[in-house]
Structure 1
């Protein structure tokens, strides 16, 4: 005698294999909840402040290349260019001339406070000697990664505050719906850097070095951070 199956409880449905579930039960388990969503874009901006300039030195060295500590000699020569600077090699190229001498060109970088820039030209001349010439390659007022990240984090905090404000306004406009934050996608907008430098800073940069065609203007960078925000609430089922 065949026994008829009674109504399935929720626990019994979960215990059944997927193939053994009734079609109606399967349909009920895969239907996603319906939500009402509101999307908007928010943006905030601020200036990334930097206290130092990225200075690149070019060092030309000529010699036989025998019995010399080239890197040590270069570091010793540039030590007097700036106070307490930590110079790092970023490139070294070697060429042989017709006289059989080795010619090296090294590039070194360090971050220097703005107060040391006017004396760079004079100090590089004093650091140069016969067979070793030091000059300034470029001066760029680019913020460090840490400075940029600090500003970026502060802008995100401001965006979070705006999102909370929008959420309160939305729940006030639609009482009882209980809207929540469903997603936030951050993005950044590029802002062209200014190319004009005037006044005291222009005189400072001109005095720092003669061959400075690659020097960047000494201005702060503007950072614009935006967010695509989605606020959602579960839809009210029809009566």
Structure 2
């Protein structure tokens, strides 16, 4: 597949050279019997010189385009090598998001809960569903998230990834979602199964909502670094 972005000056120069050659070769044919200024110019047109010069220019442009392409390729390799841990983290977060989507479906099938603030206290109630199923789904969801993550987010958060500050904010929110603890069981919080169900739902919903933003930020950072490195190499 032709890379028009990098090679269009070469293609254009070769096209002009071809048109110049066609013009010169056919000038005697279409200009026969014509004595206008344009016909005279066409017959006297030094197409050999023009075509040779344009083809030489095309050769020079092809070398420049190849060098630019090589610079871009080298920049991409360098950036990927430096960001390999960041891309591994992106893969991990994507798999965590997929798991959260499945767990959310299980929680929705088990029932529905809500949180109300009563006299400054968080009170949880069951809107629909069986409390035992809700309790089971909530416990299973949080256990699955922690087992899948296995402290990977915590480890990467404390490593030197050199990412934009927004990435670390998202990592903190993801860590909080994965490590969320259920409230203590007492009468003041209302239904305890509803409390567990609500908190688990908050965790999976948070992961689903913010996980894509992390990938977008990392890809944007990759693009910026490649651009900066290419500009530096050209200078």
**TM-score between the two structures when normalised by the length of structure 2:** 0.30
**TM-score between the two structures when normalised by the length of structure 1:** 0.30
Q: Which has the higher strand share?
A: 1
Q: Which has the higher helix share?
A: 2
Structure scoring higher RCO (CA < 8 A, sep ≥ 6) equals 1
